[in-house]
Amino acid sequence: MCNDYEQHVAYAEYQAAVRAAELSTPSSEKPEDLPQADDIRIGDMGPVLRAAGNGAELVLMRFGWPPPRPKAPPTFNFRSDGRHFDGSKRCVIVLSGFFEFTGSKYPKTKHRFSLVDSPVMGIAGLWSEDEDGSLSFTMLTTAPGPDIAPIHDRQVCVLRPEDWGHWLFLTRPEAELLKPLPAGTLRVETVRP
């Protein structure tokens, strides 16, 4: 499942996505709040959009909830199937593409997924505040869509920018948001054979 993604969204592209979502953001927000990274892996910090009053704000959070018990791994993907998130702390992970891997030998084949018609995408997520006060997030998953099914048996819940506000404030039914996108929506590239 998705444990690696990239963030190459330019700040102007992010601002256009926020406008498409009809969200207001703090006037103090700046390009440094959206750091670039080739790979954001479990335990790394990544930019996340969360509700703030009637608008939204970018916050850096750690990828992966703390382990639920000693010696367990962090929770970095969370199944959305059959669940409701109206009482949850919802967020949108801002990114330009995510990776899935195939093969059994290291290094595995690395596949990059991005939206065909947009340089920016979001992944529906949940965030939490840990016991020490730090913030972390996990990505929601669903059944694979036609663009991902040949490579993986699950996929993250990809959100187009115009759906970001709908997820943050649940102004559309969850079933309409947490589902695979239609065939041809995602560009698939093998970046490491």
DSSP-assigned states of every residue in the chain: ---EEEE---HHHHHHHHHHTT----TT--GGGS--EEEEETTSEEEEEEEETTEEEEEEEEESBPPSSTTPPPB-EEE-TT---TTS-EEEEEESEEEEEE-SSSSPEEEEEEETT-S-EEEEEEEEE-TTS-EEEEEEEES--TTTTTT-S-EE-EE-GGGHHHHHHT-S-HHHHSSPPPTTSEEEEEEE-
Q: Which residues contact 24 (CB under 8 A, 6 or more apart)?
A: 54, 55, 56
Per-residue pLDDT of the chain (193 residues; tens, 9 = 90+): 579 999 999 999 999 999 999 999 999 999 999 999 999 999 999 999 999 999 999 999 999 998 888 888 888 988 899 899 999 999 999 999 999 998 888 888 999 999 999 999 999 999 999 888 999 999 999 999 999 999 999 999 999 999 999 999 999 999 999 999 999 999 999 988 7
Pairing of strands 77-79, 135-142: parallel
| CA–CA dist 20, 40 (Å, integer) | 25
| CA–CA dist 64, 3 (Å, integer) | 9
The structure's pTM equals 0.94
Per the document, the length of the chain is 193
Tokens matching residue 100: 């899935």
Q: What is the pLDDT of residue 1?
A: 57
Q: What is the pLDDT of residue 130?
A: 84
| CA–CA dist 51, 57 (Å, integer) | 6
